[in-house]
Amino acid sequence: MFRPTPTWRRVLKIAALVCASCLTLTSCGVVNLLTNNDNVVDGVGRIPGGNFASLVTLPEGITINFPELLGPMMGPQVGGPRVLMIGDSIMASTSSRYGNEMCDTLTQLGWKVEVEAQSGSFVDFGLKVLGQRLEDGWDTAVVFLGTNYDGNQANYENKMRQIFEGLSPTPFVVLTTALFNPRQQEVNDVIMKLAGEFPNVTVLDWGTIAANNGLIGKDGVHLTANGRSVFAAAIARALEFAPTREGECLPIYFKSDAPVPGVMPDETVPVESETTVPVDVIPDTTTTLP
């Protein structure tokens, strides 16, 4: 089961913290951070310093100002390194069976990472993952579901609320989606509404980050190679250092990807060579909505 953690105070004056905690990515690809003298911001926690900057890097030529996190980073709050990541094709493309950017980035910060993400997954997929993986014990989580959206905002809110309730009271991160379609604003509105109701949730505004040039491919939805690196770095910023420093890329349970021709990266680890664990769920067979 998730370990309960003390309730933390929500950040009330985000604007006052922008100069202190926004990340700037330089042309050489290294994450440079502005820190205050004691490396602590009230209500947010420790700001990653020099060690973080040397570990989390981006491709040469990438320059991005990350938006302010809405809530604290995970590392200073949690008691262990286990992070459950739940997502669709955007997150799946960074998993160990594709680009592996997520594990490559987060394990350096000490996280034990399980990326449960499948292409074509709608919000229901999050409940399937929690139904099979929640009781294994996690210190935090990252949720990115909403790229595949059928326009039923009430259903999306209902399922996301169940996911939030299932993960609570453990602190976790939820990402907004890119605005590749006007109705994606409905998804982001739900995310912000629920985050306002759950004080243990930190919002990472991927929608703003994804608007930068060169991160989204020709289909307008999926990530380029640079986009995958930025995606992993953004999540690393939200997590920060784990309480321990022995990172690990954990086996994947859900890996029945729906075909997304021409937009997913080449497989780096054949599925049959990974640790396979039977899961009594029906794989998603829907495709990503353009």
The span from the CA of 141 to the CA of 190, in Å, is: 19
Where do we find the tokens 């992070």?
83
Q: Which amino acid is at 224?
A: T
Q: Is the pTM of this model over 0.85?
A: no
The DSSP secondary structure of 60-120, one letter per residue, reads TT---BPPPPBS--STTT-SS-EEEEEESHHHHTTSTTTT-HHHHHHGGGT-EEEEEE-TT
Q: For the chain, which residues make up each domain, given as ranges?
A: 69-273
Classify burial at 278, counting beta carbons within 10 Å of its beta carbon; exposed 0-12, middle 13-18, buried 19 or more.
exposed
The span from the CA of 252 to the CA of 264, in Å, is: 17
Cβ within 8 Å of residue 86, ≥6 positions away: 116, 117, 125, 126, 129, 130, 141, 142, 143, 144, 145, 163
3 state DSSP class of 222:
coil
Centre a 10 Å sphere on the Cβ of residue 186 and count the other Cβ atoms it contains: 18
Where do we find the tokens 């910023």?
237
Strand partners, 202: 173
Question: What tens digit of pLDDT does each residue of 219-248 get?
Answer: 899 999 999 999 999 999 999 999 988 999
The span from the CA of 186 to the CA of 244, in Å, is: 38
Per CATH, the homologous superfamily of domain 69-273 is SGNH hydrolase (3.40.50.1110)
- Within 13 Å and on the Cβ side, how many CA atoms surround 214? 11
φ/ψ of residue 213, rounded to 5:
-65, 140
Closest CA to 255 of 245, 239, 268: 268
Closest CA to 160 of 68, 211, 210, 168: 168
| pLDDT higher than threshold 50 for residue 111 | yes
> What does the block give as tokens for 179?
């605005």
Cα angle value 154/126/255 (rounded, 5°): 140
> What does the block give as tokens for 251?
């086996």
pLDDT of 95: 95
The span from the CA of 14 to the CA of 52, in Å, is: 22
The span from the CA of 74 to the CA of 237, in Å, is: 9
The span from the CA of 29 to the CA of 60, in Å, is: 5
Q: 112: part of which helix (H) or strand (E)?
A: strand 112-117
Question: What tens digit of pLDDT does each residue of 46-79 get?
Answer: 455 558 878 888 778 888 888 999 999 999 999 9
| C-beta separation of 263 from 290 below 8 A | no
Question: What tens digit of pLDDT does each residue of 119-150 get?
Answer: 999 999 999 999 999 999 999 999 999 999 99
Question: What tens digit of pLDDT does each residue of 142-187 get?
Answer: 999 999 999 999 999 999 999 999 999 999 999 999 999 999 999 9
pLDDT of 201: 98
